Amino acid sequence: MKVRIDVDAKHEETVITIQAKEWTNELAELVKTIQQSTTATGRLIGIENERSVLLEPAEIDYVYAENRRVIAATAASRIELRMKLYEVEELLAPKQFMRFSKSVIGNIARIARFELMFNGNLCVHFKSGNKEYVSRSYVSALKQRLILGGDKNER
Give the tens place of pLDDT for each residue, 28-71: 777 767 655 544 566 788 888 878 888 888 889 999 999 999 99
Say which CATH class 44-148 falls into. Answer: mainly beta
- Classify burial at 116, counting beta carbons within 10 Å of its beta carbon; exposed 0-12, middle 13-18, buried 19 or more: exposed
Give per-residue burial for 77-94: e unless 16+ CB within 10 Å, then b.
eebebebebeebeebbee
Percent of the chain with pLDDT over 90: 29
Distance CA(63)–CA(11), nearest Å, equals: 40
Confidence of residue 153 (pLDDT cuts 50, 70, 90): very low
Q: Given this model, what pLDDT does residue 67 score? A: 93
Q: Which of 44, 52, 154 is nearest to 91 (CA)?
A: 44
Q: What are phi and psi of 133, to 5 degrees?
A: -110, 145
pTM over cut 0.85: no
* Residue 92, pLDDT above cutoff 80: yes
